[in-house]
Structures are given as structure tokens and as C-alpha cells.
């Protein structure tokens, strides 16, 4: 069994924020693969289904980003899911818009309060699917950048990215991270959102 966690803040006010792209990604996974209706539990919302041969629990913590770890810990404990079978989908400032990287453990929290909370509750050796949202250029603008909605001009690549992540999510469930990142990259490249000199590997 796998636990896929999408990070974001609950409520309509935050729904289209850059910080909420993790929610958007797991919503699309649930939709595309016919997962069960969302249920409120574990201080969040869950949906269950299968990706290939793997049973997957999708989780959207509703604790607000800074306390995401409480929800993740509750769900992982209930289902007895090991840290290595937890995957977190989150926004990544240090990647260009539409770019994806997969990373397991190590550092790289880079000021992301959702990741900090999860690491504090379950440890650091979980998988992160880093969804690039771009950096505003200076540190002082970061807070406003991540808590602002995507611009209308961003809608096409955001939709394409969530669709590509959902389409190839079974590769994450299998643990074939490099293949997943490459397939997403190729899908984004085919739609003209990434240039040919980039690659999808970590």
C-alpha cells in the first residue's frame, strides 16, 4: 500500500494558489483513475483506489500547510505505511514552472513548511514529487508568490502538468521515479511547455 499526499491549504480562498498545486495533482489522480469519493478523516480528506497493482491512499491534509505532518502521521500510522511508501506532491520554487523532480529523503526542504512539518512527524526518508512553480526572483517576494493564485496565463501548463502527473502516477507507485519524471517531462515538452535541452531526471 502507498500513501500519496498532496500539499495545500484548505478552502476556496486558497484553491488556485501556487502553494496548492499538490492538492491539484492528487485531485487529478483521483479523477483520472476513478478513485473512491473523498472522505474526511485523519485531519484531512482521503480517497482510495489502485494504480496498476498497487493500492493507493490519497491524502489532502486540511490542517493548513504548516501542520500537514499531523495528518500524514495519523494516516500512515492507521494504515501501517512505512516512510518509504509515502510520497508527497508539493510546489517547488527552485524548479521552473512545469518542471518535475523526484527526490527521496535528504535535505531540500528549502523553507517549505509543509515538508518541515511532515519530516518532524514521520522522519525525512519519504519521497517528494517536486512540482515546479518558479521563483519570483527575490526572497522577499516568496511568501506572496506561493500564496497568490496562478495567473490566467499559467492555467494551460498547470492543467497539463497535473494531467501528466496523474497519467504516469502508477510509475511512482511502482518506485520507478526516473521513468516517471522523464515521462512527465516528455509530455510537457510535447505540449510546448518545456524546452528540448532539459531532461526529466533528478
Check if the beta carbon of residue 11 is closer than 8 Å to that of residue 60.
no
Query: Catalytic residue among 19, 90, 112, 168, which?
Result: 19
Grid cell at residue 170: 502508477
Neighbours of 114 (CB within 10 A): 27
Residue with grid cell 501528466, as numbered in its chain: 164
Grid cell at residue 89: 506532491
What's the CA gap between 26 and 11, in Å, rounded? Answer: 16
Question: End-to-end CA distance of the chain, in Å?
Answer: 25
Phi, psi of 60 (to 5 degrees): -120, 100
Grid cell at residue 26: 492528487
> Annotated catalytic, 135?
no
Beta bridge partners of 91: 131
Catalytic residue IDs? 19
Amino acid at each position: 500500500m502507498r500513501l500519496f499526499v498532496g500539499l495545500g491549504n484548505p478552502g476556496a480562498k486558497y484553491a488556485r494558489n501556487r502553494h496548492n498545486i499538490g492538492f491539484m495533482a492528487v485531485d487529478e489522480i483521483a479523477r483520472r483513475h476513478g478513485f473512491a469519493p473523498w472522505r474526511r478523516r485523519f485531519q484531512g480528506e482521503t480517497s482510495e483506489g489502485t494504480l496498476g497493482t498497487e493500492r493507493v491512499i490519497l491524502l489532502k491534509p486540511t490542517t493548513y500547510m504548516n501542520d500537514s505532518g499531523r495528518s500524514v502521521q495519523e494516516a500512515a500510522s492507521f494504515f501501517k505505511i512505512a516512510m518509504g511508501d509515502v510520497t508527497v506532491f508539493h510546489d517547488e520554487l527552485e524548479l521552473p514552472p512545469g518542471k518535475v523532480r523526484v527526490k527521496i529523503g535528504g535535505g531540500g526542504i528549502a523553507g517549505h513548511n509543509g515538508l518541515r512539518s511532515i519530516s518532524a512527524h514521520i522522519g525525512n526518508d519519504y519521497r517528494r514529487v517536486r512540482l515546479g512553480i518558479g521563483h519570483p526572483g527575490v526572497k522577499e517576494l516568496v511568501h506572496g508568490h506561493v500564496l497568490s493564485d496562478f495567473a490566467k496565463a499559467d492555467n494551460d501548463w498547470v492543467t497539463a502538468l497535473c494531467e501528466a502527473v496523474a497519467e504516469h502516477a502508477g510509475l511512482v507507485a511502482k518506485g520507478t521515479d526516473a521513468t516517471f519524471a522523464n515521462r512527465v517531462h516528455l509530455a510537457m515538452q510535447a505540449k510546448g511547455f518545456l524546452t528540448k535541452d532539459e531532461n526529466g531526471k533528478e
